[in-house]
Amino acid sequence: MSLKNLSGVCLDQNKSLPIDTACLSINNLNDHVVTFLSNFEDCFLCYGQPVADIPPNTNTTIQISTKYPLKIYYNDTGATKPYIWCGSSYSFKQHGRYGWNITKDNSCSSVYTLYEPWNPYLPLLAAVMTYLLSFAIIFTSKLIINVVRTYLAKHAESHNDIDRLQESESTPEMVAVSKTAMRLQALDAFRGIAVLLMIFVNNGGGEYVFLNHAAWNGLTVADLVLPWFAWAMGFTIVNSVRVHLRVSVSRTRLIIMQLRRTVLLILFGLFINSQHNSTLSELRFPGVLQLLAVAYFICSVIETCLASPQRTFQFGRFVFLQDILERWTQWMVVLVIILVHTCITFFLHVPGCPRGYLGPGGYHHYGLNVNCTGGAAGYIDRLIFGQHMYQKTMNPVYGPTLPHDPEGLMNTISAVLIVFMGVQAGRIFVTYYQANSRIIRWFAWFVATGLLAGILCNFSQEKGWVPVNKNMMSLSFVLCTSSFAFLLFSILYYLIDHKKFWSGVPFIYAGANPILLYVGHYLTMGLFPFAWETGTTPTHASVLAMNLWTTTLWAIIAYLFYMKDFLITI
């Protein structure tokens, strides 16, 4: 039998396989050509796509992707009527070598392992252990230093009576209040986790699939970053508006201040987008900061127009719901916005597409809706923005698609609910003064939003009425990510501000300067010393090390700014 290598890498001992690839040797025992087909298991309702024609009585080696479990088939082209005779699904491992036999009786063997690869997640485990060990050493060192200082203080010579008398009669020292001392530590830690995680995943996340955005439906760690940032932004709105109204700042002036912040965020977002394409005719208008800016402005205007400087109502037996009942008009406005968004999503007529389509197009639904990427949301963005939107047209799972912007107009409207969930969390904070009352309510919102999200998506990735989808910023996605935000913030508040078990270090440093880190990491992306070219075939270990270094370096920069009490706000 002849041996053919279609990849040019699998049989060359001097070459290394790229990240997330493996080699599959297909042994065709038939006397005629067969076609090898495959598709990722995550590709919902997809046909297998032709990969290569396998000559008769040959062993053909091809390079395959290991990002997701792979479905493999073969099509017997020698039969009177082409047909996929058999197929299987297999989770190939990075840099592994596998075999698959296609026999003469229209059947195939199971996939078998020729070379067992090493675990690609070992570098991630090593990184986690390194960071935990570093934190343990730092914590232990601080504990020892504090114990020594306490011991020395107790055994130091006391001042004489004259010194004590002079101290008692002296003028009390002025207490300097820094900007950082007046901040809610749990919120800074929450925001710091979000922004550092954003830097990590934006730089590659070690090229691990679960540390990058989901191909379409589903939820990964990277998908939590943007909604958490939006949620934290909403949290700050309540107290900001209340303080300004209490010092008699007019609502008109306050809205102008909010508009100024919105415009600055949008300009920063356009500035970041211009890095990738400075041509005005193709400059992308939507973006992360643009989405945050518009969603923030809508929620802040709602809060400004409908909030009162002082609490004036009590509700008897419903006093435990006063944070909701006092602001029921705001809830009505936001619910109307979400209702309009939902009606457009499910009832707008999109030419050539079924109503309410939420899929990616491409191979999805057996290719019947190939030009329907993003449904109504994608159609509106392409209609309004044209070339001024995200132009990626190759989905890693669903193949060629139409342009679709994950921060487009409809997604921005959907993000209003995420920001408003943060507003609700902030309202709980300013309405109730006991820590337990706050934590119980935040936890209740975690349960309620999580259950509602589960009901909408039917607790499955693909089969629910409204799947969890970051690309579409679906209602179930908004509720699910808000649920995790309520849970994480409850934990942080309990540990940091309530029980004071933890100071929030090192995340509070990044959380105090989120705009600096967000804009700065985009401007320096790919530049030394934040990143570098290795000159060799990258691996998960090398990419992960560089991405963690980038994130750590920005955390150090945030620490230096924090120590200098230098906070950049808009």
d(Cα 227, Cα 345) in Å, to the nearest integer?
Answer: 20
**What is the 3 state secondary structure string of 370-437?**
CCCCCHHHHHHHHHHHCCCCCCCCEECCCEECCCCCCCCHHHHHHHHHHHHHHHHHHHHHHHCCCHHH
Look over the chain and give the mean of its residue pLDDT values, rounded to a whole number.
87
Distance, in Å, from the CA atom of 246 to the CA atom of 273, rounded to the nearest integer, reads: 39
Confidence of residue 147 (pLDDT cuts 50, 70, 90): confident
Q: What is the pLDDT of residues 403-435, one digit of tens each?
A: 999 999 999 999 999 999 999 999 999 988 899
Count up the domains in the chain and report the number.
Answer: 2
Same domain? 349 vs 207: yes
Plot region of 249 (φ>0 → left; ψ -120 to 50 → alpha; else → beta) = beta
Nearest to 514 by CA among 462, 558, 465, 553: 558
Nearest to 313 by CA among 333, 331, 330, 327: 327
> Are 421 and 482 a contacting pair, CB within 8 Å?
yes
Contact, 98 vs 62, CB < 8 A?
Answer: no
What pLDDT sits at residue 314?
Answer: 59
Distance CA 270, CA 492 (A): 33
Indicate if the pLDDT at residue 178 is higher than 70. no
- Is 494 in the same domain as 374? yes
Write down which residue in 73, 100, 118 finishes a domain. 118
Q: Residue-wise over 472-501: b if at least 16 C-beta within 10 A, else e?
A: bbbbbbbbbbbbbbbbbbbbbbbbbbbeee
**DSSP states of 466-496 as a string?**
S--BTTTT-HHHHHHHHHHHHHHHHHHIIII
Supply the range of the domain harboring residue 69.
7-118
What φ, ψ does residue 318 adopt, rounded to 5°?
A: -100, 20
| 148 found inside a domain | no
Residue (of 380, 407, 403) closest to 392 by Cα position: 403
| pLDDT score of 568 more than 70 | yes
Tell me the C-alpha distance between 461 and 475, whole Å: 14
What is the reported pLDDT for 511? 93
Phi-psi region of 211 (alpha: psi -120 to 50; beta: other; left: phi over 0): alpha
Q: 242-297: per-residue pLDDT in tens?
A: 888 888 888 999 999 999 999 999 999 999 988 877 678 888 999 999 999 999 99
Q: Give percent of the chain above pLDDT 90.
A: 55
Q: Does any domain span residue 144?
A: no
Say if 154 falls within a structural domain. no
Contact call for residues 200 and 551 (beta carbons, < 8 A)? yes
Which residue, 102, 118, 134, sits at the end of a domain? 118
The confidence score (pLDDT) of residue 170 equals 45
Of the candidates 104, 29, 97, 106, the one whose C-alpha atom is nearest the C-alpha of residue 73 is 106
- Is the CB of residue 363 less than 8 Å from the CB of residue 396? no
Separation between Cα atoms, residue 250 and residue 326, nearest integer Å: 21
CB atoms within 10 A of CB 130: 11
The mean per-residue pLDDT over the stretch 100-113 comes to 86
Whether 319 has a pLDDT exceeding 60, the answer reads yes
∠ CA(522), CA(527), CA(528), 5° rounding? 135
Q: What pLDDT is stored for residue 406 in this prediction?
A: 93
Examine the domain organization and report whether 410 and 501 are in the same domain.
Answer: yes
Strand 21-28 vs strand 97-102: parallel, antiparallel, or unpaired?
parallel
Stretch 492-517: mean pLDDT, rounded? 92
Tokens 């943060």 locate to 422
At 268, list the tokens: 């920063």
pLDDT confidence of 225, banded at 50, 70, 90?
very high
Specify the DSSP class assigned to residue 545: H
Q: Are residues 72 and 16 in contact, defined by beta-carbon separation less than 8 angstroms?
A: no
Residue 394 located in a structural domain: yes
CB contact at 8 A, 423 and 234: yes
What's the distance, Cα to Cα, between the start and end of the chain in Å? 69
What is the average pLDDT across 117-123? 87
- Phi, then psi, of 47 in degrees rounded to 5: -80, 155
Is the domain of 34 the same as that of 109? yes
Q: How confident is the model at residue 7 (pLDDT cuts 50, 70, 90)?
A: low
Among 73, 93, 118, give the residue marking a domain's end.
Answer: 118
Query: Going by C-beta distance under 8 Å and a sequence separation of 6 or more, which residues neighbour residue 99?
Result: 24, 25, 26, 27, 111, 112, 113, 114
Residue 404 identity (one-letter amino acid): H
How confident is the model at residue 116, as a pLDDT? 84
Question: Is 350 among the domain residues?
Answer: yes
How many CB atoms neighbour CB 248 within 10 A? 7
Range with the poorest average pLDDT among 306-315, 367-376, 461-470, 504-513:
306-315
Q: Are 180 and 562 in contact (CB under 8 A)?
A: yes
- Whether residues 198 and 63 share a domain: the answer is no
Is residue 42 in a domain?
yes
CB 61 within 8 A of CB 96: no
Active-site residues, by number, are 213
CA distances from 19 to 112, 120, 301, 468, 538 (A): 21, 9, 47, 28, 7
The three-point CA angle 490-498-563 to 5° equals 95
Residues 110 and 252 reside in one and the same domain: no
Same domain, 440 and 518: yes
Distances (CA, A) of 321 to 25, 445, 483: 64, 12, 19
Q: What is the pLDDT of residue 528?
A: 87
Q: Edge to edge, what strands does the sheet with 49-54 contain?
A: 49-54, 34-40, 70-76, 84-90
User: What does the block give as tokens for 510?
Assistant: 């990044």
- What pLDDT shows up at residue 567? 84
Place of tokens 């009425």: 465
Tell whether 126 is covered by a domain: no
Whether pLDDT at 457 is above 80: yes
CATH code for the domain of 40: 2.60.40.780
Verify that 227 and 358 share a domain, yes or no. yes
Please report the pLDDT score of residue 177 as a whole number: 46
Burial of 432 (0-12, 13-18, 19+ CB in 10 A): middle
Cα separation, 540 vs 237, whole angstroms:
40
Give yes or no for residue 175 having a pLDDT over 80: no
Residue entry with tokens 């309530």: 498
In a domain, residue 130? The reply is no
